[in-house]
Chain A
């Protein structure tokens, strides 16, 4: 995978944190913070671990955990993937 979509991210979040009681990540909620969406810090940590595992050493797990919104996280991932691919 060279580029991660909103739907891809939603899938990973579903595996790591479920979807009950949490606002689903979609185009409408890309700029809502993970905290406001209902994800706690461990859910984000687990998500970052899963993404790092999926994309290997191209991603920095610590940096991913700093991202506050789905859009920031997607941008960070896709930026790293583009850098690695170029």
Chain B
């Protein structure tokens, strides 16, 4: 979108199994610290899948008003925590800005499983009068957007997008479009948590969760040993601002620029038509006005299921040529966070641009030659100006987002 006001990332808040603040998370990513471990939230010994990326040491009562505790699921508590961190990082005084000039767009793929599981148990054991009235919204896909909007007085354009993993990127893409259309500030991203017994069986029954009990070998995207992924919990919230609005309120520090986004949907398998990921990448590059050769790194969707890894590799080969761009998936250290994962990858992409250091795909070792992709297996020091983040959602969602180096005046170069 040449001529349009650039859209900046002015704040970031991370809630990941490897860290509850951005720098701790980033150091863990670069150090290869693995948060994947036996799921000890309840007894998983009789389940076929036992490894998870859990967030430990998160005490919601330390971070949220007590008033919000009876009405929020864990995923909403994590989202409110990350949103507050992001707004604090952006040093924005929300009370001083027009409330209709600030919007919220978030994604959650699972909704409030733990809260609902508890209320359903009360319904069956004690009867309807024992079910919390807050169940009416605590489970809901839009609840994180709503709670963030209420807490921070953001009454501009608000939305919730659901597209499994891809929803986390689609939300940021929607925030980008909203800012381009004139919304001064948009709080955006995604958070998921569904590791309670009901959430766990729901994820396991999808059939793609690793049955390995070895934390270093369970989630091996693009490896010839790939056999599934490990689920995790958490996500990230970003503050996007129009450059003109950011200048006006005196923003001095910027994490980067959201340059472009696109989504596509796959045709049915067996139709003979191509998968939609390549088209999403090309459309996102076009929206960003960035050439494929300018992309310095790809943060891959990296499901860890051979057929899906092969299809992602094929799309990357098609756009960038064989081994044409470094490809990485630091998410192996946290597990896949549903809609929370891609926004965390966007944070990683911006920090890669900042530090000139691409975090490795820990654990992946043997990439089939026919994939033809350059998987980053050791942290790689290389200047990066533009990064591509990819996400796919089960049943056919594809999403691609480009972030770029920049300052308050916009993109560099």
Contact = CB atoms under 8 A, between A and B. Distances in A.
17 contacts: A15-B70, A16-B70, A17-B67, A18-B65, A18-B66, A18-B67, A18-B68, A18-B70, A20-B66, A42-B134, A42-B136, A45-B133, A46-B132, A46-B133, A49-B129, A49-B133, A52-B129
B240 to A, nearest CB: 27
Interface in B55-80: 65-71
Contacts of A46: 70, 132-134
B181 interface: no
A19 interface: yes
B112 to A, nearest CB: 15
A3 to B, nearest CB: 22
Interface residues of B, number: 14
B118 interface: no
Main secondary structure, interface of B, reads helix
A1 B362 CA distance: 62
Contacts of B129: 49, 52-53
Interface residues of A, number: 14
Contacts of B132: 46
B152 to A, nearest CB: 13
A17 B133 contact: no
Task: Specify which of B67, B68, B71, B129 lies most central, judged by the most chain A CB atoms within 10 Å of its CB.
Answer: B67
B132 to A, nearest CB: 6
Main secondary structure, interface of A, reads helix
Contacts of B68: 18
A37 to B, nearest CB: 12
B366 interface: no
Nearest to A38: B67
A22 interface: yes
A21 interface: yes
B66 A19 contact: yes
Contacts of A16: 70
B412 interface: no
B130 interface: yes
A18 B136 CA distance: 18
A21 B134 contact: no
A21 B68 CA distance: 10
Interface in B99-140: 129-130, 132-134, 136-137
Contacts of B133: 42, 45-46, 49
B69 A18 contact: yes
Interface string A38-55: 000010011001001100
A-B interface, 9 closest residue pairs, ranked by CB to CB distance from nearest: A18-B67, A20-B65, A18-B66, A46-B133, A45-B133, A20-B67, A20-B66, A53-B129, A42-B133
